[in-house]
Structure 1
Amino acid sequence: MIGKKTALVLLLVGAAVGARAQVPRPAAPKVDVQTLDYRLEPRRIAENTWVIEGAVDDFSRANGCNIINTAFIATKEGVLVINTGPSRLYGEQQRRAIEKVTQQPVLRVLNLNLHPDYFLGNAAWSDKPTQALKGSIDGMKAEGAAYEDNLYRICGDWMRGTQATPAQEVIQPQTIRLGGHLLELRRMHGHTADDLVVIDQTTGVLFAGGLVFADRVPTTPHADPEAWLASLQVLKQWQDDGLFKWVVPSHGPVHEGSRGMEQTSDWLQWLVALMRNSAEKGIDLSELQRTRIPERFAGWAAQPAEFNRSLAQWYPRYEQQALSKPK
Structure 2
Amino acid sequence: MMLPIRHTLMLLGTLISFTTSAETPNLTFSEVAPGVYCHQGEIADLFTTQTDPVANMTFIVGNDAVAVIDTGASQRTGEALLKGIRRITKLPITHVITTHVHPDHHFGNQAFIEEDPQFVAHTRYPGDFAAKVGYYMERLNSPWFTGTKPVAPTQLVETETVIDLGDRPLVLTAHDRAHTRHDLTVFDEKTGTLITGDLLFIDHTPTLDGSLIGWLNVTKQLEAMPYKRVIPGHGAVQTGPDAFKKQTRYLSSLAQEVRAAIQKNIDINTASETVLTSQSSEWKLFELFHPRNVIQAYKELEWE
- Do 1:122 and 1:167's aligned partners in 2 also have CA atoms closer than 8 Å? no
Go from structure 1 to structure 2 and tell me whether the alpha carbon gap of 1:263 and 1:123 turns closer, same or farther (over 3 Å shift). same
Go from structure 1 to structure 2 and tell me whether the alpha carbon gap of 1:292 and 1:298 turns closer, same or farther (over 3 Å shift). farther
User: What per-residue deviation string (whole Å, max 9, x for no partner) do you get for residues 9-40 of structure 1?
Assistant: xxxxxxxxxxxxxxxxxxxxxxxxxx975541
Provide the secondary structure at the position in 2 that maps to 1:290: helix
- Are 1:181 and 2:168 an aligned pair? yes
Provide the secondary structure at the position in 1 that maps to 2:59: strand
User: What per-residue deviation string (whole Å, max 9, x for no partner) do you get for residues 276-297 of structure 1?
Assistant: 1112212234433332756555
- TM-score, normalization by structure 1: 0.79
- Are 1:149 and 2:173 an aligned pair? no
User: What is the alpha-carbon distance in structure 2 between the residues aligned to residue 281 and residue 39 of structure 1?
Assistant: 53
**Bigger mean CA offset, 173-182 vs 194-203:** 173-182
Residue ranges of structure 1 left out of the alignment (5+ in a row): 1-34, 323-327
Which of 199, 212, 215 lines up with 1:225 in the alignment?
Answer: 212
CA RMSD in angstroms, aligned pairs only: 2.2
Q: CA deviation at 1:204?
A: 1.0
- TM-score, normalization by structure 2: 0.84
- Do 2:157 and 2:174's aligned partners in 1 also have CA atoms closer than 8 Å? no
Number of positions where the alignment pairs a residue of Structure 1 with one of Structure 2: 279
Alignment correspondent of 2:70: 83
Which of 137, 141, 146 lines up with 1:160 in the alignment?
Answer: 146
User: What is the alpha-carbon distance in structure 2 between the residues aligned to residue 297 and residue 259 of structure 1?
Assistant: 21
User: What per-residue deviation string (whole Å, max 9, x for no partner) do you get for residues 131-154 of structure 1?
Assistant: 1122112211221111111222xx
User: What per-residue deviation string (whole Å, max 9, x for no partner) do you get for residues 164-210 of structure 1?
Assistant: 22222224521223232232111213112221111111101000111
Matches within 5 A, 1:18-33: none
Alignment correspondent of 1:203: 191
- Do 2:272 and 2:295's aligned partners in 1 also have CA atoms closer than 8 Å? no
Residue ranges of structure 2 left out of the alignment (5+ in a row): 1-21
Provide the secondary structure at the position in 1 that maps to 2:124: helix
- Do 1:213 and 1:260's aligned partners in 2 also have CA atoms closer than 8 Å? no
Q: CA deviation at 1:54?
A: 0.3
- Do 2:120 and 2:155's aligned partners in 1 also have CA atoms closer than 8 Å? yes
- The alignment-based identity, stated in percent, is 26
User: What is the alpha-carbon distance in structure 2 between the residues aligned to residue 301 and residue 115 of structure 1?
Assistant: 18
- Do 1:214 and 1:259's aligned partners in 2 also have CA atoms closer than 8 Å? no
The one-letter code matched in structure 2 to 1:282 is: N
- Do 1:122 and 1:166's aligned partners in 2 also have CA atoms closer than 8 Å? no
Matches within 5 A, 1:19-58: 38-58=25-45
